[in-house]
Amino acid sequence: MEIKIEKNIPIPDKVQTQISKIIVELKKLEVNDSYLVDNSKNLPLPQLRNQTNSKLIYYGKKLNYKFTIRQTEEGLRVWRVK
């Protein structure tokens, strides 16, 4: 197999993944800051809570953050606690 070698082709920028976008946003949270979880897919509360909790455990380990989740009148809310 022969390959055609080309010179001076610029390397495109990396495409930012969904995970890296979320991490960038979570890094903005200071202790005691919170946000309302998006439920635009109208998931049942237990399913939304489980999905959110799984993601927060994953991101929390990467960032060395801790989160807590509570149901409020507005919906499911996440607080950074560490």
* 8 lies in some domain: no
In a domain, 51, yes or no: yes
Residue 7 pLDDT > 80, yes or no? Answer: yes
Q: Is residue 46 part of a domain?
A: yes
Task: Give the angle 68-69-71 at the CA atoms, nearest 5°.
Answer: 150
Q: What is the CA radius of gyration of the chain?
A: 19
CB-hemisphere CA count at 13 Å for 63? 24
Query: Is 6 within a domain?
Result: no
Look up the domain containing 65 and give its range. 32-80
Is residue 24 assigned to a domain?
no
Long-range contacts of 40-47 (CB under 8 A, 24+ apart): 45/71, 45/76
79: β partners:
34, 68
Number of domains in the chain: 1
Residues in the chain: 82
**What tens digit of pLDDT does each residue of 14-65 get?**
776 777 788 888 999 999 999 999 888 899 999 999 999 999 999 999 899 9
Q: Does a structural domain hold residue 64? A: yes
- Looking at residue 63, what is its pLDDT? 93
